[in-house]
A and B are shown apart, each in its own frame.
Chain A
Amino acid sequence: MVAKFELDDDSVVLIIGTGSGGGVLANELAQKGVKVVSLEAGGRYMPEDYINDEWDSFAQLAWLDNRTTSGDWRVAKDFSGLPAWIVKAVGGTSIHWAGASLRFQDHEWKARTNYGHVTGANLLDWPIDGAEMAPWYEKAETKLGVTRTGDRPGLPGNNNYKVLEKGALAVGYKEVHTGRMAINSVDYDDRLACQQTGFCFQGCKWGAKWSSAYTDIPKGEATGNLEVRDRCHALKIEHDDKGKVTGVLYADKDGNQHFQKARVVCVAGNSIESPRILLNSASSMFPDGLANSSGQVGRNYLRHVTGSVYGVFEKPVKMWRGTTMAGIVQDEARLDPSRGFVGGYELETLALGVPFMAAFLDPGGWGRSFTSAMDGYENMAGMWIVGEDMPQETNRITLHATVVDQFGLPAPNVHFDDHPNDIAMRNHAYAAGEAIYRAAGATRTFPTPPYPSTHNLGTNRMSENPRDGVVNKHGQSHDIPNLFVSDGSQFTTGAAENPTLTIVALAIRQAEFIAGELSKQNL
Chain B
Amino acid sequence: MTTLTASRGLRGQTLTRRQLISRSFAASAGMIIGAGFIAAPDAAWAYAPTTLKPETMATLVRMARDIYPHDRIADEFYVIAVKGYDTADAAPGIEAGIASLNAAAQGAGHADYLSIGWEDDRVALLRAMETSAFFQQIRGGLVTGLYNQKAVWPIFGYEGESFSQGGYLHRGFDDINWL
B6 touches A55 (CB 8 A): no
Within 8 A of A (CB), among B7-41: 7-11, 13-22, 25, 28-32, 35
Bound complex: CA A91 to CA B166 (Å): 24
B158 interface contact, C-beta 8 A: yes
A44 touches B67 (CB 8 A): no
Q: Which of A48, A231, A318, A378 contacts B6 (CB 8 A)?
A: A48
A395 interface contact, C-beta 8 A: no
Interface string of B84-105 (1 = CB under 8 A from A): 0000000000000000000000
B156 interface contact, C-beta 8 A: yes
Within 8 A of A (CB), among B67-126: 67-70, 72, 123
- Residues of chain A within 8 A (CB-CB) of B163 are 52, 197, 199, 205-206
Known contacts A55-B35, A354-B158; is-contact A205 B144 (Cβ 8 Å): no
Q: Which B residues fall within an 8 A CB radius of A?
A: 3, 6-11, 13-22, 25, 28-32, 35, 67-70, 72, 123, 130, 139, 143-144, 146-148, 152-153, 156-163, 166-169, 172-176, 178-179
- Residues of chain B within 8 A (CB-CB) of A190 are 9-11
Closest chain-A Cβ to B126's Cβ sits at a distance in Å of 8
Of A75-83, A124-132, A428-436, the stretch lying at the interface with chain B is A75-83
Closest chain-A Cβ to B10's Cβ sits at a distance in Å of 5
* In the complex, residue of chain B having the shortest beta-carbon distance to the beta carbon of A165: B179
* In the complex, residue of chain B having the shortest beta-carbon distance to the beta carbon of A379: B157
A320 interface contact, C-beta 8 A: yes
Closest chain-A Cβ to B34's Cβ sits at a distance in Å of 10
- Residues of chain A within 8 A (CB-CB) of B28 are 81
Closest chain-A Cβ to B150's Cβ sits at a distance in Å of 8
Main secondary structure of the interface of A (DSSP, over half): loop
Bound complex: CA A507 to CA B146 (Å): 44
A318 touches B157 (CB 8 A): yes
Bound complex: CA A159 to CA B176 (Å): 6
B25 touches A81 (CB 8 A): yes
A367 touches B169 (CB 8 A): no
A321 touches B162 (CB 8 A): yes
28 cross-chain CB contacts under 8 A: A43-B18, A44-B14, A47-B10, A49-B18, A52-B160, A53-B161, A59-B20, A60-B18, A79-B29, A79-B30, A157-B174, A159-B173, A162-B179, A196-B169, A198-B162, A218-B10, A222-B11, A315-B178, A318-B159, A322-B167, A322-B174, A353-B158, A355-B148, A358-B144, A359-B31, A366-B67, A374-B68, A441-B179
Interface string of A300-332 (1 = CB under 8 A from B): 000000000000001111101110000000000
Bound complex: CA A364 to CA B32 (Å): 13
Closest chain-A Cβ to B179's Cβ sits at a distance in Å of 5
Bound complex: CA A218 to CA B30 (Å): 37
Bound complex: CA A48 to CA B7 (Å): 7
Bound complex: CA A375 to CA B70 (Å): 7
A45 interface contact, C-beta 8 A: yes
- Residues of chain B within 8 A (CB-CB) of A55 are 32, 35, 144, 148
Closest chain-A Cβ to B77's Cβ sits at a distance in Å of 13
A206 touches B6 (CB 8 A): yes
A354 touches B156 (CB 8 A): yes
Within 8 A of B (CB), among A319-367: 320-322, 353-355, 357-359, 364, 366-367
A195 touches B144 (CB 8 A): no
- Residues of chain A within 8 A (CB-CB) of B29 are 64, 79-82
A230 touches B16 (CB 8 A): yes
A197 touches B31 (CB 8 A): no
Bound complex: CA A140 to CA B4 (Å): 30
- Residues of chain B within 8 A (CB-CB) of A374 are 68, 70, 147, 156
Q: Which of A42, A60, A79, A377 contacts B31 (CB 8 A)?
A: A79
A48 touches B15 (CB 8 A): yes
- Residues of chain B within 8 A (CB-CB) of A81 are 25, 28-30
- Residues of chain A within 8 A (CB-CB) of B158 are 320, 353-354, 377-378
The 4 A-B pairs with the shortest beta carbon distances in the complex, nearest first, are A378-B157, A197-B167, A195-B167, A52-B161
Bound complex: CA A190 to CA B12 (Å): 12
Bound complex: CA A378 to CA B14 (Å): 39
A187 touches B9 (CB 8 A): yes
Q: Which of A45, A218, A371 contacts B11 (CB 8 A)?
A: A218
A368 interface contact, C-beta 8 A: yes
Closest chain-B Cβ to A494's Cβ sits at a distance in Å of 26
- Residues of chain B within 8 A (CB-CB) of A199 are 161, 163
B144 touches A355 (CB 8 A): yes
- Residues of chain B within 8 A (CB-CB) of A513 are none
Closest chain-B Cβ to A152's Cβ sits at a distance in Å of 16
Bound complex: CA A488 to CA B100 (Å): 50
- Residues of chain A within 8 A (CB-CB) of B172 are 318, 321
A156 interface contact, C-beta 8 A: yes
Interface string of A129-170 (1 = CB under 8 A from B): 000000000000000000000000000111100110010000
Known contacts A82-B29, A322-B174; is-contact A196 B19 (Cβ 8 Å): no
* In the complex, residue of chain B having the shortest beta-carbon distance to the beta carbon of A193: B169
* In the complex, residue of chain A having the shortest beta-carbon distance to the beta carbon of B161: A52
Within 8 A of B (CB), among A219-258: 222, 230-231
A115 interface contact, C-beta 8 A: no
Closest chain-B Cβ to A348's Cβ sits at a distance in Å of 17
Bound complex: CA A316 to CA B18 (Å): 36
B139 touches A64 (CB 8 A): no
A62 interface contact, C-beta 8 A: yes
Closest chain-B Cβ to A506's Cβ sits at a distance in Å of 26
Closest chain-B Cβ to A373's Cβ sits at a distance in Å of 11
B176 touches A197 (CB 8 A): no
Interface string of A37-59 (1 = CB under 8 A from B): 00000111111110111010011
* In the complex, residue of chain A having the shortest beta-carbon distance to the beta carbon of B3: A48
